[in-house]
Amino acid sequence: MGLVELVKLFTSSRLTSPLSHPQYALTGPDRLTLDAREPPVTPSPTPKPPVSPVGLMVVGTEMAGFTITGVLLDVVVFGTMPWFTVGLTLLGLFAAFVHLVKMARPKPPAAGGGS
């Protein structure tokens, strides 16, 4: 197949699909303009207030404080390395995640704020 036959092949065939698709409506006097329907735009969510750095420091202190307390109990008081360290570290992680979840939840609007 030569170059002339390829040119004839591509110039003689239709450029659009013979099937009509309901999501595209051909409009306009030339029936070439597409009217693509877009999904409705959802309103953007209300922005969250920034997280306090003090709250994040409290979460970090909870994790570190429980771990240091566990090490001190293990080494100084009981000599049962590593059981208090492991237990209090897990307790500190749990307390920190509970605190993080409370910080991440949206605050309910104040009730009864009448005049």
> Tens digit of pLDDT for each residue in 56-107?
898 999 999 999 999 999 999 888 888 999 999 999 999 999 999 988 887 7
Burial (0-12, 13-18, 19+ Cβ within 10 Å), 69 = middle
pTM above 0.85, yes or no: no
* pLDDT tens per residue, range 20-37: 555 555 555 555 555 556
Q: Cα 8–9–15 angle (5° rounding)?
A: 110
Can you tell me whether residue 19 is helix, strand or coil? coil
CA dihedral 22, 26, 27, 32 (to 10 degrees): 170
